Amino acid sequence: MVERIFPALVTPPEKEALRFGEVSLDYAQLSRVAGALARELREAAPGRVAVWATPTIHTSVAVVAALLAGAPAVPVNPKIGERELGHIVSDSTPSLVLAESGVALPPDLEALPRKDVPLTGQQGELPPELDPEAPALIVYTSGTTGPPKGVVLPRRAITSTLDALEDAWQWTADDVLVHGLPLFHVHGLILGILGPLRRGGSVRHLGRFSVEGAAKELTSGATMMFGVPTMYHRIAGEVTENPQLAKAFGQARLLVSGSAALPVHDHQRITAATGQQVVERYGMSETLMNTSVRADGERKPGTVGVPLGGVEVRLVDESGAVIEVSDGETVGEIQVRGPNLFTEYLNRPDATAEVFVSEGVAGGGDWFRTGDMATRDGDGYLRIVGRKATDLIKSGGYKIGAGEIENALLEHPGVAEAAVTGEPDPDLGERIVAWIVPSGAPPAEQELVDHVARLLSPHKRPRVVRFLDALPRNEMGKVMKRALDA
């Protein structure tokens, strides 16, 4: 018999499952509501369904119902542009769209049959569980190198990742998670909504993140918080000045950061004020979660921990040879294999074949090429130094990761935000460029150059410093470096 993806919906515990502001559903209510919608979807046999993924309880119910029904769900960013939405709709061909009642939809979705998501429903038998290889979600990539690709995630990828995190984070049904992440992405939706529901725990979504809102939940029963670096940067600034906020975050069992690297300086400020050491993890749309700092393991700020249970991780050099040394210095591309991997890019067998390799040979195999570059220390902890395409700088014969230079720059009191890129140089091959948002009056360029050379080594110092009012970021807080280069 195939294991249920949400066992707690079969025998509902007497507790809250989901809360968004003043609106909540306990497990018995969620089972009735999602079960009724799932039965409707099964009868309609719709194939794929689009979900207008607003940060609401309706989105959560829609995705749970689609998973129960076996209808692959396509979460759609409610702030999406017309061209990108048109591509996603034509590529994924959903037969209907699930949305909160009364919410206006853009033309490409308005043209589809619509089913409003109810918050009441009749009790009935839940549909049978599907094969673990059946597609569960199709999550579209950000499309930085072309049109967004639809990442087809099977049910076993979701369950294996969430169960591996149960072990790594000692995640139980007693945990209450608080977050304010968007629900069209792996972090907020799969980890932040489906994760608590698989454990039989609870989630309280803030709708819109605020430091005060998260602190309020942590002082009234919440045990865990998920966030991205921009959120933790705000927390770091406020807990330093406000002892009450510091006390609130100090009560958390676990603070988890993901989707981009959390600067070491923010790690240090949060720990100094709250006593908490933020846990970082590493994942992608295509792989879900690969590594994490364990709840019972050593916390090393700036690292993303060790491979999760069932996941194999290796570093390879430019020739495809596996890097055996674990010296914390040698940079290689991360490759991954395990049950957490996606099945394919929808309608793109060419792109799918390109990212899977077998012992260094492209065009097939079971190792996924992440495109992320990292080092590994003697304890097996990975430290991400950036994307192969944008963050690995080859300067003067050295391979330099942008991430460690950014962390060094952020230790300077005159730097509020920093990004590092490379640009062509006739002598060095590439020169290091620092993009700085100052915390006040801009510091002298040479002062920043000398600061990095002192903390790291001379060949890692920026050759060019450019000041900005703000760094371009996407909705998950990641700096869009191609926009800087442009």
Superfamily of domain 390-485: ANL, C-terminal domain (3.30.300.30)
Q: What is the pTM of this model?
A: 0.85
Q: Three-state SS string across the chain, please?
A: CCCCCCHHHCCCCCCEEEEECCEEEEHHHHHHHHHHHHHHHHHHCCCCEEEECCCCHHHHHHHHHHHHHCCCEEEECCCCCHHHHHHHHHHHCCCEEEECCCCCCCHHHHCCCEEECCCCCCCCCCCCCCCCCCEEEEEECCCCCCCCCEEEEEHHHHHHHHHHHHHHHCCCCCCEEEECCCCCCHHHHHHHHHHHHHHCCEEEECCCCCHHHHHHHHCCCCCEEEECHHHHHHHHHHHHHCHHHHHHHHCCCEEEECCCCCCHHHHHHHHHHHCCCCEEEEEECCCEEEEECCCCCCCCCCCCCEECCCCEEEEECCCCCECCCCCCCCCEEEEEECCCCCCEECCCHHHHHHHEEECCEECCCCEEEEEEEEEECCCCCEEEEEECCCCEEEECCEEEEHHHHHHHHHCCCCEEEEEEEEEEECCCEEEEEEEEEECCCCCCHHHHHHHHHHHCCHHHCCCEEEECCCCCECCCCCECHHHHHC
pLDDT tens per residue, range 140-197: 987 555 678 999 999 999 999 999 999 999 999 999 999 999 999 999 999 999 999 9
Q: Taking residues 83-89, report their average pLDDT.
A: 90
Q: 108 versus 389: which is more confidently predicted?
A: 108
| CA–CA gap between residue 45 and residue 323 (Å, rounded) | 48
Q: 455 versus 38: which is more confidently predicted?
A: 38
Q: What is the pLDDT of residue 352?
A: 94
Give the number of other CB atoms < 10 A from CB of residue 295.
Answer: 17
Instruction: Give whole-number Cα distances, 39 to 29, 57, 127, 450, in Å.
Output: 15, 19, 7, 65
Mean pLDDT score across all residues of the chain:
92
pLDDT tens per residue, range 118-133: 999 888 899 999 999 9
Asked whether 26 and 17 are in contact (CB, 8 A), the reply is yes
226, β-bridge pairs: 256
pLDDT tens per residue, range 28-40: 999 999 999 999 9
pLDDT tens per residue, range 308-337: 999 999 999 988 899 999 999 899 999 999
pLDDT category at 242 given cuts 50, 70, 90 is very high
Q: What is the pLDDT of residue 57?
A: 98
Tokens of 231: 């959120």
| CA–CA gap between residue 94 and residue 86 (Å, rounded) | 12
pLDDT surpassing 70 at residue 278? yes
pLDDT category at 254 given cuts 50, 70, 90 is very high
Q: What is the pLDDT of residue 427?
A: 72
Q: What is the pLDDT of residue 437?
A: 93
Q: What is the pLDDT of residue 180?
A: 96
pLDDT surpassing 90 at residue 260? no
Give the number of other CB atoms < 10 A from CB of residue 352.
Answer: 20
Asked whether 212 and 240 are in contact (CB, 8 A), the reply is no
Q: Taking residues 265-273, report their average pLDDT.
A: 94
Task: Classify strands 429-438 and 415-425 as parallel, antiparallel or unpaired.
Answer: antiparallel
pLDDT tens per residue, range 357-380: 976 555 557 899 999 999 999 999
Q: Taking residues 337-362, report their average pLDDT.
A: 89
How many Cα atoms sit within 13 Å of 441 on the Cβ side?
Answer: 1
Asked whether 202 and 176 are in contact (CB, 8 A), the reply is yes
Q: Taking residues 283-299, report their average pLDDT.
A: 96
Lowest-confidence range among 11-15, 85-89, 193-197, 407-411? 407-411
Q: What is the pLDDT of residue 388?
A: 74
Give the number of other CB atoms < 10 A from CB of residue 96.
Answer: 18
Give the number of other CB atoms < 10 A from CB of residue 191.
Answer: 25
Q: Taking residues 218-243, report their average pLDDT.
A: 94
Q: Where are the domains of the chain?
A: 7-192, 390-485
Q: What is the pLDDT of residue 361?
A: 57
Asked whether 164 and 141 are in contact (CB, 8 A), the reply is no
Q: What is the pLDDT of residue 107?
A: 94
CATH number for region 7-192: 3.40.50.12780
Q: What is the pLDDT of residue 123?
A: 86
Q: What is the pLDDT of residue 259?
A: 82
pLDDT category at 204 given cuts 50, 70, 90 is very high
Tokens of 378: 């003697």
pLDDT category at 460 given cuts 50, 70, 90 is confident
Tokens of 96: 């209907």
Q: Taking residues 429-438, report their average pLDDT.
A: 90
Using CB atoms within 10 Å of the CB of residue 233, give its burial: 0 to 12 exposed, 13 to 18 middle, 19+ buried.
buried
